[in-house]
Amino acid sequence: MEKNNILPALLLGGFLCAGLVYVGHTASTALLQMKAMERTVTVKGLAEKEVKANVAIWPINFTEVDNNLPKLYETVQQKTDRVVAFLKEQGFSDSEITISLPSIEDRQAQGYVDPNVRYRYSAKVNLSVYTPQIDLMLNTRKQMISLVKEGIAIASQEYDNRTEFLFTDLNSVKPVMVQEATQNAREVAEKFAKDSDSRLGKIKTASQGQFTISDRDNSTPYIKQIRIVSTLTYYLND
């Protein structure tokens, strides 16, 4: 009986070993295929574009002084009206012009009075122009010097008083720039694949970077440079 049981047991053992070998071979083949699929290259694609700002925020400030407060108010009102009239003459509308209340300073109310100060009251007048008419704004800013003849000294474009230029139509250029960044990344990846004797496969992952908008240079802040960097990972095939 024992001899008769040995043969089936040997056959069963043989089948099990063959099955394990087959499973091991299949698993190793699958692992090799998975390993091959893990061969990737990660590249970055750049797209840049220069555009003209489509909105300008232009602050216009001037200061008046006097020892007579009612007279100061009257002068401030007259000169403010003149500046507004000048802006309208150039082509700006009421909706583009904003006038803030003047800031009045009583220098004698500060406790210490500088004997060299000739005028007690100082009024700072703030106007601003919010406009999409960039060329008109640039030209008008050059003409502001003519107001000096009328006794209105417009403050210079200092750091905290400079014109701000904006580009608010990013959606109009987004699709094209994303496409350009993707194409640029693919060109880089294809070059890498060629140099490594591989073929470029499908995209594994893609990440669209943030759009950045900056001045092209300090001299022309109304010209903006838009930039995006996309990151893509491609599979590499033999």
pLDDT in tens, 184-225: 999 999 999 999 899 999 999 999 889 999 999 999 999 999
Instruction: Give the Cα separation of 125 and 60 in Å (integer).
Output: 8
pLDDT band of 5, cuts 50, 70, 90 = low
User: Quick one: pLDDT at residue 160?
Assistant: 66
The answer to whether 136 and 54 are in contact (CB under 8 A) is no
pLDDT band of 158, cuts 50, 70, 90 = low
Higher pLDDT, 108 or 43: 43
Percent above pLDDT 70 for the chain: 80
Same domain, 91 and 148: yes
* Domain limit, last residue, from 137, 166, 195: 166
Same domain, 113 and 146: yes
Same domain, 156 and 173: no
Q: Is 60 exceeded by the pLDDT of residue 12?
A: no
pLDDT in tens, 74-127: 999 999 999 999 999 999 999 999 999 999 998 887 666 667 778 889 999 999
Average pLDDT, the chain: 85
The domain tally of the chain equals 2
Q: Is 90 exceeded by the pLDDT of residue 15?
A: no
Residue 159 — φ and ψ, nearest 5°? -55, -45
Same domain, 152 and 178: no
Same domain, 113 and 162: yes
Q: Is 90 exceeded by the pLDDT of residue 175?
A: yes
Same domain, 122 and 206: no
Same domain, 64 and 150: yes
| Residue 185: domain span | 38-54+167-238
Same domain, 61 and 149: yes
